[in-house]
Each structure stands twice: as structure tokens, then as C-alpha cells.
């Protein structure tokens, strides 16, 4: 759905996005993480053909970026939710969606059906004729999300969809995004919410002008510190720890009554841990898996990138 | 460029302006004030000076008053254009609009039409009323119907549309540099100065005959073309998203 190669954007002497290459598959939810000013919004704007690129190339939703004849076709195939909802406050939710549907040249009957389906999905059908100015922030964000979907785009760019929302409103919006994921929509999600990225995204990329890393949230988390299996025993002894080291050839630490075993493949290695502990005379009370959070991984990756630059 | 797309944007904006009382009041009050106020003033002048030598001073006076339709055509759209562009900027609705499959030219034309069409309807309606009332109050003094004549045709069908376009394009250029509607309107106030000078010239006896009006129209065309180039450059998708404050 998206294939970008060395996408670069410069504003005068400032490089906002530096040689970003990435691929997003059909039906994938791709999270774009990065600190403020990292170039996330600029990347989205380039991919949505809202601003030009300085160099590099990209194909988005079957359209070549920068090719004038493809620009309108591209914008009719994608939906962009900017960071600021940008609704017409004096008009109703229905009128907002109707206007954008008509700008996208959606046929009248289809447009009516789409608006009703989307407003019902967002739980706003009963409020369809009320001016948007009377809506809460969360409701406005849902109207904006519906506006992004009104022409049934094949690719969605969502820029910080839950930023500045209270937890309840953020959850409402997140639930809608999860619904869209179930529908197998391709979503490019810019977010600061690492918990959100972990729950929603199939893969994430971390940007700091350059794309620092890319992978599944689990791969990033485990890539940071590996996966650790924690075994709580009646009494953790050095002999049991040594037996594990000899059998699995992995680092083992003793922490009180717990053994912390670094593993690469928990599904394969955990049964072996049990066998080795029991064979060494240990009595297992509890086993659990310990891994770094995506936030830990993100902070480490960004700090390492800062240090190296 | 698809005119239907531009007209869709214009119709939407006009629909929003209809909810703004200030804009509606301006569209009605100014043309009505000119078309009723000046004939009333003529009645007063005739009452004070008598109609014996009305033929010597009335035509110049009526032509000068008629120039107010040109001034009005420049005044009215500045408020609408300010709402249409700065208002969208304040509500941050320009980015979603720019994300639709509409070209910059279609959006720009839509914004221009949204300010131009209501303005010209108000100006033309006001000028018809003005001509009827002026004829009604001056016929006996002049001994003939003063309107319609070539001067008013040039004023309302050539100069007034040019003045409206001049004001709208200027407002678009100003809109890129201001962050609220009121500032947009205030900066746009500068554009009335040349028109006010022309009006005063008419009042103090400089004859705004068809030849002079044609020359003024030519100057306006040059200014409108120049401003179009500037506003087209200002109203550019990338410029709006990355440079507009």
C-alpha cells in the first residue's frame, strides 16, 4: 500500500525528514512514533501528496508521489485525519460529512448510506443535526474520523488521533480505530501514545528525522532486553542456577527466591527450564514472563539515537 | 480545473456566511444605505438650492454618488473573504479541505466566488433601486430620466466587479499573514484609499465620464491581474500548510 524509498524533505537549510524508506502492507496498521519535531507530520503530508518531497520516491495506494496526474487520484483514495480536527463548528455533523463526501464526488445515494453507517458506528446518529460546536472533544474527534472515512478510502493517515483527549474520549476513539482494524483497513498512525501503538499497531517505526528502527511492537520490546523467564522457587540456590546454565547455555541470575533466565524462544525453552529445575531438585511455585515495555524500548532507542548523533 | 468543484466550495462557504449576522447586515445595509440615502440627499439639495440650475450640478453629483457602488463592491467582500480564509485558518479546517481531491485553483476559485457572488448580487440590486429612486427624484428638475446611462453601466458592470475582485485578492494575500478575522478586515481597509480618492475627485468636480471610467477600469484590470498572480502564489497547498501562521 505504501512503498517509500529515501523520502526526504528540507525546509531551507533544515532537514525535516531524512531518507526515510518504509513499506506498509495492505490491511496493516503501521504506527509512526517519534518525539515532537521528529518529522512524523511532514512524512504523512508528503505521503498524502499535501506537500512536495525534496528527494526520494514513493508509491502510495497505487499512485506515484509527485506525479501531477496522480495527485487527485491519490487524495481520492486516502483519508487524512490531521492533528487538529478542523470541523466546521457552525454546521452539523451530517453537513460536515456531506460536504466532504461531495468534495470526494461520492454518489448521492452512497453518500447518504455512508454517512448514516459512520454516524451510527460513532454513536452520533441521534446528534447528527446538532451543530458540531455543541459537541465534546471526543465527539468532535469521532466526527473528524467519520469525515476521513466518508468516501471509503483504502488507506487512512491518522495524525495523533487521541492527542489532547481525556482518557474516556481517547478510549472511544481507540475503539473506533480497533473497529477499523477489524475491517482490515490499512492505517498509518502517528502517535505519541506508546500504549496505544502497542495495542493497535502490527508494526511501528521510530522516527527522529531519520527512521531509526522498524518492527513489530513485540520485536522492539524483546529486541531491547530479550525475554526473561522468572521462576519462583521454594528456595533459589546456586546449584539450580548452574544446572540451568549448563542445560540451556543462557544467563541466569538469582534474585531472592527467584531465578531470572534470559531466553530467546520462550515457547521452546520454558519446558526445558521446568525440566532442568526439577531435575536439579528445585520446587517451582510460579513462572512468569518478563519483558521491557514498548515505552522502555522507545526511550532507549531514541536516547541512543540522540547520543550517536 | 473543475468549475463544479469550485462552486461546491463556494456554496458551502455562502451557506456558512448566511449564519453570520454581521456579514448579512453588511450585504443589506451598505447597498440599501447608498441607494436610499443618496437620493434622499438629492431631495434635500434640490429643496435647498431649487431646481432652476439643477442641470449644471446634479449630473456630476449623481455620478459621484454612483461611484459608491464601486467602493461598496470593494468593501463588502473583504469581510466575507476574511471569514472564508482566515476563519478556516482559525477553525483549522483548511488542512482537511486541502486533503480532498480538489486542486489549489479550485479551492481558491471557490473562495473567490463565495465572496464575489453575494457582493455582486447586493451591489446590482442596490444599483437598480438607486437608479429608480434617482430618476424619481430628479426627473422634474432635470426634465429627463438620468438613468440608465453608460456611466452607471460601466460603474456597476465593469468597475464594481473589478473592485470586488481587487478586494478579494488583496484579502487572500493578507489572510496568509494574519491570525484572526478582525485583523484581516483591518489590513484590507487599506484597499479603499484609492477608491476614496476617486470618489472625492468626482465630488470636487473632476468629471468621471465614460472615458475616465474606462481608463480607471484598465488600471483596475492591471492591478487585478497582478494581485491574482500574488494570491495564486500565496494560496498554494504547501505554502498554506508550512508557512501560513
Quick: pLDDT tens for B165-195. Answer: 999 988 888 877 776 666 766 666 677 777 7
A268 CB-near residues (< 8 Å, 6+ apart): none
> Is A297 domain-assigned?
no
Confidence (pLDDT) at B33 = 92
> Is A305 domain-assigned?
no
Confidence (pLDDT) at B181 = 66
> Is A42 domain-assigned?
yes
Those residues of chain A that have pLDDT short of 70 are 223-226, 309
Torsional sign, CA B27, B29, B30, B31: positive
How many CB pairs below 8 A link A and B? 67
Residue A35: Cβ within 10 Å count: 14
Domain with A281, as residue range(s), is 227-290
The region, left, alpha or beta by phi > 0 then psi within -120 to 50, assigned to residue A11 is beta
Confidence (pLDDT) at B38 = 92
Question: Which position has the higher pLDDT, B221 or B90?
Answer: B221
Whether residues A244 and A213 fall in one domain: no
* Cα separation, B169 vs A21, whole angstroms: 41
Whether residues A103 and A53 fall in one domain: yes
Whether residues A259 and A188 fall in one domain: no
The per-residue pLDDT for range B186-236, each reduced to its tens digit, is 666 677 777 777 777 766 667 777 888 888 889 889 988 998 888 888 888
| CATH code for position A236 | 3.30.70.100
Confidence (pLDDT) at B122 = 95
Which pairing describes strands A186-190 and A258-263: parallel, antiparallel, or unpaired?
unpaired
Whether residues A172 and A283 fall in one domain: no
Domain with B189, as residue range(s), is 3-242
> Is A98 domain-assigned?
yes
| CATH code for position A126 | 3.40.50.300
pLDDT classification of B69: cutoffs 50, 70, 90: very high
Whether residues A44 and A69 fall in one domain: yes
Confidence (pLDDT) at A225 = 60
Confidence (pLDDT) at A31 = 93
Confidence (pLDDT) at A195 = 83
* Cα separation, A86 vs A140, whole angstroms: 9
Which chain B residues contact residue A132 at CB under 8 A?
A: none
Whether residues A246 and A176 fall in one domain: no
Whether residues A196 and A264 fall in one domain: no
pLDDT for B118 beyond 80: yes
* Cα separation, B136 vs B120, whole angstroms: 24
> Is A106 domain-assigned?
yes
- Residue in the block written with cell 540522540: A306
> Is A119 domain-assigned?
yes
Q: Would the CB atoms of B102 and A103 count as touching at under 8 Å?
A: yes
Total tally of structural domains belonging to chain A: 2
Total tally of structural domains belonging to chain B: 1
Q: Is A258 on the interface with B (CB under 8 A)?
A: no
* Cα separation, A239 vs B189, whole angstroms: 89
Chain mean pLDDT for chain B = 86
Which chain A residues contact residue B8 at CB under 8 A?
A: 99, 102-103
* Cα separation, A196 vs A31, whole angstroms: 9
A218 CB-near residues (< 8 Å, 6+ apart): none
A158 CB-near residues (< 8 Å, 6+ apart): A81, A145, A148, A177, A187, A188, A189, A190
Whether residues A166 and A234 fall in one domain: no
Confidence (pLDDT) at A163 = 82
DSSP at B189: G
A179 CB-near residues (< 8 Å, 6+ apart): A121
The per-residue pLDDT for range B125-171, each reduced to its tens digit, is 999 999 999 999 998 888 899 999 998 999 999 999 999 999 998 88
Whether residues A108 and A133 fall in one domain: yes
Main-chain dihedrals φ then ψ at residue A163, nearest 5 degrees: -65, 145
Q: Would the CB atoms of B242 and A100 count as touching at under 8 Å?
A: no
Q: Would the CB atoms of A87 and B238 count as touching at under 8 Å?
A: no
DSSP readout, A154-191?
Answer: SEEEEESTTTT--HHHHHHHHHHHHHHHHTT-EEEEE-
Whether residues A50 and A125 fall in one domain: yes
Q: How far is A121 from chain B (nearest CA, A)?
A: 21
Contact B163, B69 (CB under 8 A): no
> Is A275 domain-assigned?
yes
First to last CA, chain B: 28
Whether residues A25 and A138 fall in one domain: yes
Whether residues A172 and A98 fall in one domain: yes
> Is A188 domain-assigned?
yes
Amino acid at each position: 500500500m505504501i512503498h517509500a524509498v529515501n523520502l526526504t524533505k528540507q525546509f531551507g537549510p533544515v532537514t525535516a525528514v531524512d531518507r526515510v524508506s518504509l513499506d506498509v502492507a495492505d490491511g496493516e496498521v503501521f504506527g509512526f512514533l517519534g518525539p515532537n519535531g521528529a518529522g512524523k507530520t511532514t512524512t504523512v503530508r508528503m505521503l498524502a501528496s499535501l506537500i512536495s518531497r525534496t528527494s526520494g520516491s514513493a508509491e502510495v495506494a497505487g499512485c506515484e508521489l509527485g506525479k501531477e496526474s496522480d495527485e487527485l487520484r491519490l487524495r481520492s483514495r486516502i483519508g487524512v485525519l490531521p492533528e487538529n480536527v478542523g470541523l466546521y463548528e457552525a454546521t452539523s455533523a451530517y453537513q460536515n460529512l456531506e460536504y466532504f463526501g461531495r468534495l470526494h464526488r461520492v454518489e448521492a445515494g452512497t453518500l447518504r448510506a455512508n454517512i448514516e453507517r459512520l454516524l451510527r458506528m460513532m454513536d452520533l446518529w441521534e446528534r447528527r443535526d446538532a451543530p458540531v460546536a455543541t459537541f465534546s472533544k471526543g465527539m468532535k474527534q469521532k466526527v473528524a474520523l467519520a469525515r476521513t472515512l466518508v468516501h471509503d478510502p483504502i488507506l487512512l493517515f491518522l495524525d495523533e488521533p487521541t492527542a489532547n483527549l481525556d482518557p474516556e474520549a481517547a478510549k472511544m476513539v481507540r475503539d473506533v480505530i480497533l473497529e477499523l482494524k477489524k475491517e482490515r483497513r490499512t492505517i498509518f498512525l502517528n502517535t505519541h501514545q506508546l500504549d496505544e501503538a502497542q495495542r493497535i499497531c502490527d508494526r511501528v517505526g521510530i522516527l527522529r528525522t531519520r527512521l531509526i528502527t522498524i518492527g513489530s511492537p513485540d520485536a522492539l520490546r524483546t529486541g531491547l532486553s530479550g525475554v526473561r523467564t522468572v521462576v519462583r522457587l521454594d528456595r533459589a540456590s546456586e546449584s539450580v542456577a548452574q544446572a540451568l546454565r549448563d542445560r540451556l547455555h543462557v544467563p541466569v541470575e538469582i534474585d531472592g527466591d527467584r531465578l531470572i533466565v534470559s531466553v530467546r524462544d520462550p515457547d521452546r525453552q520454558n519446558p526445558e527450564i521446568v525440566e532442568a529445575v526439577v531435575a536439579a531438585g528445585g520446587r517451582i511455585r510460579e513462572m512468569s514472563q518478563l519483558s521491557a515495555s514498548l515505552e522502555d524500548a522507545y526511550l532507549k532507542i531514541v536516547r541512543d539515537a540522540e547520543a550517536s548523533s | 480545473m473543475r468549475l463544479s468543484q469550485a462552486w461546491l466550495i463556494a456554496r458551502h462557504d455562502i451557506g456558512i456566511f448566511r449564519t453570520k449576522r454581521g456579514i448579512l447586515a453588511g450585504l443589506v445595509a451598505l447597498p440599501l444605505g447608498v441607494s436610499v440615502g443618496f437620493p434622499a440627499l438629492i431631495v434635500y439639495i434640490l429643496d435647498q438650492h431649487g431646481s432652476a440650475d439643477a442641470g449644471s450640478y446634479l449630473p456630476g453629483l449623481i455620478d459621484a454618488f454612483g461611484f459608491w457602488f464601486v467602493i461598496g463592491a470593494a468593501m463588502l467582500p473583504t469581510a466575507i473573504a476574511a471569514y472564508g480564509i482566515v476563519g478556516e485558518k482559525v477553525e483549522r479546517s483548511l488542512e482537511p479541505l486541502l486533503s480532498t481531491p480538489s486542486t489549489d485553483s479550485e479551492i481558491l476559485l471557490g473562495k473567490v466566488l463565495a465572496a464575489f457572488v453575494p457582493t455582486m448580487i447586493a451591489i446590482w440590486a442596490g444599483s437598480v433601486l438607486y437608479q429608480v429612486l434617482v430618476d424619481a427624484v430628479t426627473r422634474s428638475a432635470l426634465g429627463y430620466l438620468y438613468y440608465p446611462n453608460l456611466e452607471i453601466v460601466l460603474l456597476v458592470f465593469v468597475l464594481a466587479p473589478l473592485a470586488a475582485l481587487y478586494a478579494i485578492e488583496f484579502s487572500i494575500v493578507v489572510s496568509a499573514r494574519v491570525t484572526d478575522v478582525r485583523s484581516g478586515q483591518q489590513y484590507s481597509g487599506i484597499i479603499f484609499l484609492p477608491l476614496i480618492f476617486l470618489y472625492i475627485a468626482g465630488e470636487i468636480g473632476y468629471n468621471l465620464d465614460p472615458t475616465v471610467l474606462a481608463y480607471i477600469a484598465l488600471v483596475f484590470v492591471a492591478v487585478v491581474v497582478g494581485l491574482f498572480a500574488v494570491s495564486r502564489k500565496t494560496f498554494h497547498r504547501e505554502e498554506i500548510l508550512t508557512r501560513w501562521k
